[in-house]
Amino acid sequence: MPAKWFRQSVASDAPMYNRKQFASLVEAFRAKYSDFNFTIDIIVGFPGETDEDFKETLDAVREFRFSHIHTLYNSPRETHSGDRRWRKIKVCW
């Protein structure tokens, strides 16, 4: 189930489920399938994403208790509308 961003200000540039819609889907699946496992890909560093946006994503991760999380940081692509606002971010690992 795709949900790359939980913050509406970022999600408007990356059409997917908003957080409220996603919560409804998770609740419905868990009600019907008690042993259902949720995995998710989360992309961070989207152009315009703030520290507050990132914190809200972390809150969503805690709320939804995913079985597994694939995390990636956004990288610029010529075909993506967000690239016009791209700013380089430091990546620490």
Within 33-68, where are the H helices?
51-64
Could you tell me which of 34, 30, 41, 31 has the C-alpha nearest to residue 73?
Answer: 41
Instruction: Tell me the pLDDT tens digit for each residue of 25-83.
Output: 889 999 999 888 888 888 777 777 788 888 888 888 898 888 998 887 776 666 655 55
Burial class (CB in 10 A: 0-12, 13-18, 19+), 34: exposed
**CA 83 and chain centroid, separation:** 17
| Domains of the chain by start residue, with CATH | 8-85 (3.30.750.200)
| pTM higher than the cut 0.75 | no
Side chain identity at residue 29, one-letter code: F
